[in-house]
Amino acid sequence: MKMYPRKIKSRRLYNAGFVKVLQTSQNHLNLVLVNNVPLFFNVRDGPYMPTLRLLHQYPDIMKKLQVDRGAIKFVLAGANIMCPGLTSPGGALNDEVLEETPVAIMAEGKQHALAIGFTKMSAKDM
C-alpha cells in the first residue's frame, strides 16, 4: 500500500477505526477492511491494489487506460483487455505506463473505472 499517494493515507481511512486483514486460503485472496469496508486486496503474493470502491472515491491514485465502448460488456464479463480495445478510436493509452504496472481501466464516455489490472506490456509497445 506504500505505492499509493499520501492523500489517501492522510484522510480518515487509516484512522477511521478497526482495521482487519481477511485471508481466504482457497482463492489466495487477502482483503484489507476498515470498519468492515474492503479498501485493498491482493491475490497470492501480488501487490495490494485498491478496490473499485476506493478507486471511485479517489480516481487519481492509479494510472489509467481507457477502452472503447465496444469492450465494456466484455470487460465487465471478465475478459482480458486486448490492445485493439485500447488503441482504437475511443481508447486511450498513458505513455508512462510500463510493463507489469497496476492500472485503472476506464471506459469511453463513463466517469468511473470498470476494472483494475496489470499491464502485460508497456503502453509504447501497444
Count of residues making up the chain: 126
Name the residue with cell 484512522. Answer: 15
Backbone angles phi, psi at 60, to 5 degrees: -95, 15
Give the separation between CA 64 and CA 12, rounded to whole angstroms: 25
- Report which secondary-structure segment, H or E, holds 49: strand 49-50
Domain 49-125 belongs to what architecture? Roll (3.10)
Would you call 85 helix, strand, or coil by DSSP? helix
Name the residue with cell 465494456. Answer: 72
Q: How many helices (H) and strands (E) does the chain have?
A: 4, 7
pLDDT tens digit string along 5-54?
544 443 444 555 566 666 666 767 788 887 778 888 888 877 888 888 88
Task: Domain ranges for the chain, please list them.
Answer: 14-46, 49-125
Global model pTM greater than 0.75: no
pLDDT tens digit string along 79-98?
888 888 788 888 788 878 88
Would you call 70 helix, strand, or coil by DSSP? helix
